[in-house]
Structure 1
Amino acid sequence: MLSATSRPVIEATLPVIAAHIEDITPVFYGKMFAARPDLLEGTFSRANQKNGTQPQALAGSIARFATWLLENPDTMPEELLARIAHKHTSLNVRADEYPTVHEHLFAAIVEVLGDAVTPEVAAAWDEVYWLMADALIKMEKGLYEGLSADVGYTPWRIAEITEETESVKTFRLEPADDSVATPGRPGQYVSVRLTTEDGLLQARQFSLSCSPESTEKRVITVKRDQDGEISPVMHSRLAVGDVIEVSPPFGLNALPSDDGRPLAFITAGIGITVTSAALCSLKRAEDSRSILAVHADKSFSTVARLEPVKQAIEALPNARAEWFLREETGADHRTDKVNLAELGVTPETHVFLCGPMAFMQAMREQALEIGVAPQDIHYDAFGPDIWMPAPGNPVQ
């Protein structure tokens, strides 16, 4: 918790820091990569630096953390910290990198704000930084200790490649050595680390799209992103028999234990991978809960994992799918906008969201209006999480 000395300083300077944080973060990254270019090798995403989402995510997390400390002095923003911790551990970030971040972040703050950063101001924000860093280090330590073996990335061999759509492929992976693998849960993701076309090692997260609990295989479904670093390589260069580096599974968008409550999977585009993984597991367990799978897309021809999802829906006794396809002709789908209330989502439903940020935001608002508790709305963002929980209004 903030000290009595730092609290009034943070209250007075938070508006200034918040107003300039998006100016500070690019300077920070520039300084850090100049001093430590090795951090771009497999840890930080070059693509997310270019498009600005990584600096935006960092800026948002710092401002929200400081705001939380002021508004909720006796607690920590567990949801926000957990999201960051899961992403960090999926990239094998370790505690010894936090001093590096501290050094270059504070140098950037001084460069941008100049004389406004008095020793008193610097000391107060230093306290904020280490409160956040120490909480993350502790949380990440627990995540690493929860693995079957703390081995970071391990080699996996591509056993099969399935072309789902014109722009989506599914990769079935098998262990390439005797490393101990950690089972995952439906809704979690792994990081894949590859060398880009120009020789830089980079990592990208992909949801497990089937058999997440298996330690004998990993199944990921990858949409080709023309502006990305990893998916174009996976689509154009990888073949059956190739070996790639894969992290253990992480992520908060995982199925809760069976409490008998309804489940609703609300997805769009490649976000259907979360539905696919969940239904794969629920089918195997012969689950009898009420299950609603809602998916928005262009047409049936652009829906990834279409057949496995349909087969699981047919096999589960209380499951149904609703397809919202804006350019599809014929029956078996809708072309209007998704309305969760009309689809029968109730306040006691566990809601899982995955897809473009604007889609998830709109669906979350609808779920809240229905009366679904914020802690029962689960989501994961592809790439840096620029949609963070506001203080007092947790998103899980």
Structure 2
Amino acid sequence: MRQLSVKRVRGARAAGAGVGGGSGAWTAGAGGGSDAYAPDGEVSTYLHAQVREGSRLRLSAPYGDLVLDDRTGGATDATPLLLASAGIGVTPMIAMLEHLAGTGHPAPVTVVHADRSPADHPLRADHLAYTGKLPDAAAHFWYEHPEPGYPADRTGRVDLAGIAVAPGTRAYLCGPVPFMKAVRGQLIAKGVAPADIHYEVFGPDLWRASPMSSGPVGEATTSSTVTGSSEA
């Protein structure tokens, strides 16, 4: 996932969504961006209430490491993939799906997403559209508060018990820490190698997941990202 730090300055004070006076994290997807609205967040509320087309923003250079392997995609790539997200963590998954659809990825792609409701699901139409363009892909969405008649086994927390995970699957996870821990554990139980589970924190846990900082070179910021691959 590639992110941008968005800085709002009031007088001499820089305001942000992180701890202290820093920068809010804004995820740059394929040709656009997504921001998780937080009612008590100064930068988030500013973006949603005041920023319009044509507005000028002070941004950092992109940062973040949740990206597809350079070898992934194309008509000869036989690597099965699983893309699991929650909330605004869907943003990098949309970019990945667009790439896979554009390059004709032929191997199985399992798409998993968790959210409060269909109405709260960011980029839901794109999620379905790109999944539908792949020759061997299936989308599985879980909602805490689904519409009437929604399948009971897709209500509540993600449960992969009924989802087939192909041998050799490479998984990409993005969302709050509890969500990723739960999905990671289920994937390992299904035989996915820990080293093949790649992840990045995004959402409310972004700010408390690590004391490390990440952001524009030469600027102090409290915006932080935890990235990596599971090794154990």
- Aligned pair count reads 199
| Distance of aligned partners of 1:197 and 1:360 in 2 relative to their CA distance in 1, 3 Å threshold | farther
Higher helix share: 1
With a CA cutoff of 8 Å and minimum separation of 6, indicate the structure with the bigger relative contact order: 2
Q: Which amino acid aligns with 1:228?
A: G
Residues 1:330 and 2:153 aligned together: no
| Distance of aligned partners of 1:360 and 1:293 in 2 relative to their CA distance in 1, 3 Å threshold | same
Q: Which amino acid aligns with 2:39?
A: Q
Q: Which amino acid aligns with 2:126?
A: P
Q: Distance in 1 between matches of 2:115 and 2:166?
A: 24
| Distance of aligned partners of 1:203 and 1:344 in 2 relative to their CA distance in 1, 3 Å threshold | same
Residues 1:386 and 2:212 aligned together: no
Deviation of the 1:350 alpha carbon: 1.1
Q: Deviations over 1:249-291 (max 9, x none)?
A: 3222111122521111111111111221211222222322211
| Distance of aligned partners of 1:204 and 1:366 in 2 relative to their CA distance in 1, 3 Å threshold | same
Tell whether the 8 Å contact from 1:208 to 1:277 is kept in structure 2 after alignment. Answer: no
* 3-state SS in 1 of match to 2:112: strand
The runs of 5 or more residues in structure 2 that have no matched partner are 16-21, 211-225
Aligned to 2:220: none
Aligned to 2:58: 245
TM-score by length of 1: 0.46
Aligned to 2:91: 273
Q: Which amino acid aligns with 1:319?
A: A
The one of 371, 375, 378 equivalent to 2:191 is 371
| Distance of aligned partners of 1:280 and 1:351 in 2 relative to their CA distance in 1, 3 Å threshold | same
Deviation of the 1:375 alpha carbon: 2.0
Deviation of the 1:296 alpha carbon: 1.1
The one of 332, 343, 349 equivalent to 2:163 is 343
Q: Distance in 2 between matches of 1:197 and 1:287?
A: 50
Q: Distance in 2 between matches of 1:301 and 1:196?
A: 33
Higher strand share: 2
Superposition RMSD on alpha carbons, in Å? 2.5
* 3-state SS in 2 of match to 1:380: strand
Q: Which amino acid aligns with 1:255?
A: L
Q: Which amino acid aligns with 1:343?
A: I
Question: 4+ residue runs of structure 1 moved beyond 4 angstroms?
Answer: 196-199
Q: Distance in 2 between matches of 1:301 and 1:197?
A: 37
Aligned to 1:160: none
Tell whether the 8 Å contact from 1:191 to 1:205 is kept in structure 2 after alignment. Answer: yes
Q: Deviations over 1:176-224 (max 9, x none)?
A: xxxxxxxxxxx3222222325984253122222324xxxxxxx111121
Residues 1:360 and 2:144 aligned together: no
Q: Deviations over 1:110-166 (max 9, x none)?
A: xxxxxxxxxxxxxxxxxxxxxxxxxxxxxxxxxxxxxxxxxxxxxxxxxxxxxxxxx
Deviation of the 1:336 alpha carbon: 4.8
Tell whether the 8 Å contact from 2:25 to 2:35 is kept in structure 1 after alignment. Answer: no
Aligned to 1:227: 40
Q: Deviations over 1:355-375 (max 9, x none)?
A: 121111111111222222222
Q: Distance in 2 between matches of 1:336 and 1:236?
A: 31
| Distance of aligned partners of 1:378 and 1:197 in 2 relative to their CA distance in 1, 3 Å threshold | farther
Q: Distance in 1 between matches of 2:143 and 2:119?
A: 10
Q: Which amino acid aligns with 1:207?
A: T
Deviation of the 1:351 alpha carbon: 1.0
The runs of 5 or more residues in structure 1 that have no matched partner are 1-186, 212-218
Deviation of the 1:242 alpha carbon: 0.9
* 3-state SS in 1 of match to 2:110: strand
Q: Distance in 1 between matches of 2:195 and 2:142?
A: 26
Residues 1:210 and 2:30 aligned together: yes
Deviation of the 1:339 alpha carbon: 2.5
* 3-state SS in 1 of match to 2:4: strand
Tell whether the 8 Å contact from 1:323 to 1:332 is kept in structure 2 after alignment. Answer: no
Q: Distance in 1 between matches of 2:50 and 2:192?
A: 44
Tell whether the 8 Å contact from 1:266 to 1:351 is kept in structure 2 after alignment. Answer: yes
Q: Which amino acid aligns with 2:40?
A: D
Q: Distance in 1 between matches of 2:86 and 2:113?
A: 5
TM-score by length of 2: 0.75
